[in-house]
Amino acid sequence: MKSTLGFDEDELRRLAGPGSFERSRDYLSSVSALEISETTITATVDGTDVYEVELTGHERGLTGWCSCPYGQEGNFCKHCVAVGLTVLSRADSVPARRATAASRGRRLDAWLEARSRDELLSLVREQLADDRALRRRLELRAAVAGDDLDAVREHVLGQLDTRPFARYGSIEYADARAYGLQAAEAVSALRALVRSGRAAEAMEAAREAVTVLGRNYGEIDDSDGAVGDVAEALAEVHLDACRAARPDPAQTADWLVDHLLSDLNDVTDVTLSDYEDVLGAVGLARAYERVVPAWRAHPKGRAEKHLMEQLAKLDGGVDALIAVHAADLARSGATHLVIARELERAGRPADALEWAERGLREADPDRGPDARLVDFTCERYALADRRADVITVRRDVLRRRPSLAAYQDLRTAARAAGCWDAPQRSAALDVLRAAARPHQGLGHSGSALVDALLDDGDLDAAWEAAVDGHADSRQWLTLADRVRDRRPAEALTVYLRLITPLLALTGDATYEKLTALLLSARACHIALGTRDTFTAYTTTLRAVQRRKRKLMTLLDQHGL
């Protein structure tokens, strides 16, 4: 059942994980001071200490904050779950609680409106004396209302100052939200400047603010993304200010290129295309003058390459964009695929396929080409009814990178061409067999050979490969399950071998695996007519494992 905040038990379990979710039930009676507003739930939870909890509903889902040590590390803790479960258990009362919260707000508004000007001033001054953060916010608003740009700049940058929150040289998760709320005041002030017709002043202050926040961001644990949202808002208000102020396009291009070539853009994610209307032809030409030499000096630089891609897209010429990509081709063929897709979008399918084929040829000979490039090429071959070429590509991929997926892709292609005969299949299995390395025991990784034979339903050949040492415990278990009805004695041997190492381990997951294996072993004994032997086996097992109470409970539940 969904609550009116749009979450349910499954969402709480997903956010917290099964462990914290189950432990939260011990705290349901410890939830108090529950308050519910339109988007926020607050409460206290008595644990090792008294913890403050806040749950907030967003478009992107539910987030939780708790003052406990685990919550301060950015985790959705058991206390958050306890509060969420409490709300779900009282879902019918949520509308009334919201109405109560709204009523309290209206009473406060009415009380404030009834105060005289002097009373309100006295109240505000009283709060300013005790709340430094509030004082700074109001000082910023006062500066915006005045004509002193230096004062505005000083207060804007003051709102981005990390020092009051950096207790250990950086802003930890517990303080990041408070810092984000303070920094958001800078955005509000800059927007107010734009609305009041002082866009040029807002633009200059926003540029400096973007730079300052970009430098500070690496010192902030922004797990919730609150500070990142402020950075994006700063970039937006700068763009709005530029559109209103219409600054010199060449100077704007210089600032943008400097910013985009620095490492300060990671948090704001500004792009040249956002500023196309601000730059115009003059600004874009200036950007070309700046970016091209930088790219030629560092063609593999991430920022330089990204800028050249943006310029090429703005110019509208696919060949210019291809030249940028071609200057730094990945050995996997991934860049060839990017080029092929750009050419296909430009209506040049033949050139696109040529680049894709080139990517297949030039890919690392050991690792083989990117799987997406292979799929792209094979899809185009299939559309052109070039099925033999599809098989050739798929066979080469299997040879370079033997795997179940490569085997399946070759099998699908060969069947589509009507040539998946015994010699073709045998040759493909020989590739997997040559790549498989026999191992002793059950703990190693299995082989694609056994997986392929299982996928084909060739259980006899799969069993033979497993006996030769090509199977791990997962594959042995799958084999035993699939042959149990007709070969119960052999399957039983596998189950007993898998049970033995689990007897030395503990934990719920281990007990569940052990119980499942015992149930399978019992089915084998029943098929063999040796139920008494199984009963004697489980009697001995229970006597040895009797101290594992959870295991005993599971065995009782299944009649073992």
What phi and psi, each to the nearest 5 degrees, are found at residue 384?
-90, 10
With b meaning 16 or more CB within 10 Å and e meaning fewer, what string describes 194-206? beeebbbbbbbbb
Distance CA(80)–CA(68), nearest Å, equals 10
Find out whether 414 and 429 touch, Cβ atoms under 8 Å.
Answer: no
Does the CA dihedral 441-442-445-448 come out positive or negative? positive
- Residue 476 buriedness (CB in 10 A; 0-12 / 13-18 / 19+): buried
Unique residue bearing structure tokens 């009834």: 114
155 within 8 A of 161, measured Cβ to Cβ: no
Mind listing the pLDDT tens digit for each residue in 295-317? 888 888 888 888 888 888 887 67
pLDDT score at 225: 83
CB 496, CB 476: distance < 8 Å: no
For 350-358, the CB contacts below 8 A with 24+ separation are 352/380, 353/377, 353/380, 356/380
pLDDT at 97: 79
Note the pLDDT of residue 145: 67
What backbone phi and psi angles, to 5 degrees, belong to 37? -110, -165
Please give the DSSP secondary-structure letter assigned to residue 298: -
Q: Hey, what are 209's tokens?
A: 């603010």
Q: Which residues pair with 54 in a beta bridge?
A: 42, 65
Distance CA(459)–CA(450), nearest Å, equals 9
Count of positions (residues) in the chain: 560
Residue spans of the chain under pLDDT 70: 1-5, 131-133, 136-137, 139-141, 143-148, 316, 438-445
Spatial CA neighbour of 335 closest among 366, 356, 318, 315 = 356
CB distance 136 to 165 below 8 Å? no
Task: Give 545's DSSP letter.
Answer: T
Give one word for 57, left, alpha or beta, with left for phi > 0 and alpha for psi -120 to 50.
Answer: beta
> Helix or strand or coil: residue 34?
strand
Q: In angstroms, rounded to a whole number, what is the distance separating the alpha carbons of residues 245 and 331? A: 46
Q: Residue 51 has what DSSP assignment?
A: E
Q: Terminus-to-terminus CA distance in the chain, angstroms?
A: 36
CA 294, CA 31: separation in Å to the nearest integer? Answer: 59
Q: Give Cβ neighbours of residue 6 (< 8 Å, ≥ 6 apart).
A: 57, 62
| Residue pair 37/101 in contact by the 8 Å Cβ criterion | yes
φ and ψ at residue 63, rounded to 5 degrees: -125, 155
d(CA 75, CA 20): 10
Element (H, E) at 55: strand 50-58
Q: Phi first, then psi: give them for residue 431, nearest 5 degrees.
A: -65, -45
Q: What is the DSSP string of 446-490?
A: --HHHHHHHHHT-HHHHHHHIIIII--HHHHHHHHHHHTTT-HHH
Q: Where are the domains of the chain?
A: 9-113, 484-560
Query: What pLDDT sits at residue 132?
Result: 67
Residue 57 pairs with which residues in a beta bridge? 62
Largest CA distance in the chain: 97
Q: What are phi and psi of 33, to 5 degrees?
A: 50, 40
Calpha distance 321→384 (Å, rounded): 27
* pLDDT value, residue 148: 66
Residue 63 bridge partners (DSSP): 56
Distance of CA 359 to the CA centre of its chain: 29
pTM above 0.75, yes or no: no
Helical ranges in 263-386 per DSSP H: 265-268, 276-297, 302-315, 318-326, 334-345, 349-362, 371-383
**Model confidence pLDDT, tens digit, residues 205-254:** 999 999 888 888 888 888 878 888 888 999 999 999 999 999 999 999 99
Q: In the structure encoding, which two tokens stand for residue 541, read together? A: 């097992």
Q: What is the C-alpha to C-alpha distance for residues 53 and 35, in angstroms, rounded to an integer?
A: 11
